Amino acid sequence: MTAKLQAATTVPVGVVAAMGGVVRRDLQASFRQPQDLLNPLLFFMMVVTLFPLGVSPEESFLRQSGSGILWVAALLSTLLSLDHLFRHDFDNGTLEQLVLQPQPLYLLVLAKTLAHWLVTGLPLVLLAPVLAVMLHLEGNSIAILCLTLLIGTPVLSFIGSVGAALTLGLRSGGVLLSLLIIPLYIPVLIFGTGTVAAAAGGASVGAYLALMGAFLVLSVTLAPFASAAALRISLSNS
């Protein structure tokens, strides 16, 4: 590998390869620190178990509010994990290097957010059926619930990435991040639980799912732009 020592005129590593690199590296780092992986999951489980304990263990209550509880819990665990999305990388300088990579930043941010979802959102979707059974939800509702979580949790990650990027250098990070993001999460929450309620009421859920799909497409395409802009701002300030 002899150095060419003249301005390179091509970007030899393709965008897709670079995005793959980002995902692989983030997954690697997460699996090295398993407690980072498990924390959101444990949190999710705990929030869900708190309701039978703290509110009421009655089957009718749980059946009625189970899907709402699972959704709120999923939302909160995503929120909890968002603080880590960029902060470690910011502190150790990896983020600077990401911004300086010769690929469009918003694609790299997209890859990073995707990795975040794979680590925090997906396990939660996989765990949801178990918890749903514990909350006495019915088979059909459980299937719909998991489907809405599967569509909805990436939306949460992507919207959240904007907040994480905006609050990056700031000391009051965690709480501030939640303040900025929770209002934006509300439509997802409403339609997520709404879909399950519609299914339980026997209505057709096609339209609801289409709407959630629209949220997903919107957030995946737009949020990385906003996050990339916010990251540049935060880095300028550090």
Partner 1 sequence: MSKPLLQATNLQCERDGRVLFDDLSLTIMPATLTRVEGPNGAGKTTLLRILAGLNENYSGEVHWLGAPRAAQREMFQRNLLYIGHRTGIKAALTAQENLAALMAGRHAVSAATLRAALAGTGLAGYEDVPCSQLSAGQQRRVALARLLISDEPLWILDEAFTALDTHGVAALERLLSDHAQRGGAVVVTTHHDLEVPGMQRIRLVPDKVAV
Partner 2 sequence: MSMWRWFHKFGSPKWFFDIASRLIPWLLGTGLVLLLTGLVWGLAFAPQDYLQGNSYRIIFIHVPSAFLAQSVYLMMASAAVVTLVWKMKLADVFVQTMAPVGALLTFLALFTGAVWGKPTWGTWWVWDARLTSMLILLFLYCGVIVLGRAIADEKSSARAVAVLVLVGVVNIPIIKYSVDWWNTLHQPATFTLTKRPSMPVEMWAPLLLSVVGLYLLFGWLTCVRMQTGILVREHRTSWVRALVRSQGV
Partner 3 sequence: MQFDSFAAFLFMEGHGPYVWTCYAVFTLALVGLAWWSLKQRTAVIRQQYHAQLRAERRQASADAHTATDGSGTPAASFSRIHPS
8 A C-beta contact, residue 196 and residue 186 = no
Residue carrying the six token digits 């990056």: 168
Choose the contact partner of 76 out of partner 1, ligand ATP, its own copies, none; CB within 5 to 8 A by kind.
Answer: its own copies
Pick 170 or 186: Cβ nearer ligand ATP: 170
Q: Report in angstroms how near the CB of residue 41 gets to partner 1 at its nearest.
A: 19
- Paired tokens of 14: 């393709």
* Interface segment toward partner 2; rule CB under 8 A; list 83-91, 111-119, 140-148, 181-189: 181-189
Residues 46-65 that bind its own copies (CB under 8 A): 46-47, 49-51, 53-56, 61, 64-65
DSSP 150-217: HHHHHHHHHHHHHHHHHTTT-TTHHHHHHHHHHHHHHHHHHHHHHHHHHHHTT---HHHHHHHHHHHH
120 to each of 57, 74, 75, 81, how far by Cα in Å?
A: 28, 10, 11, 7
Q: Determine whether 153 is exposed, middle or buried from the number of CB atoms within 10 Å of its CB (0-12, 13-18, 19+).
A: buried
Please report whether residue 37 would count as binding partner 2 according to CB under 8 A: no
Binding track, positions 107-146, relative to partner 1; x by CB under 8 A: -x--------------------------------------
Choose the contact partner of 134 out of partner 2, ligand ATP, its own copies, none; CB within 5 to 8 A by kind.
Answer: partner 2
Q: Report in angstroms how near the CB of residue 193 gets to its own copies at its nearest.
A: 5
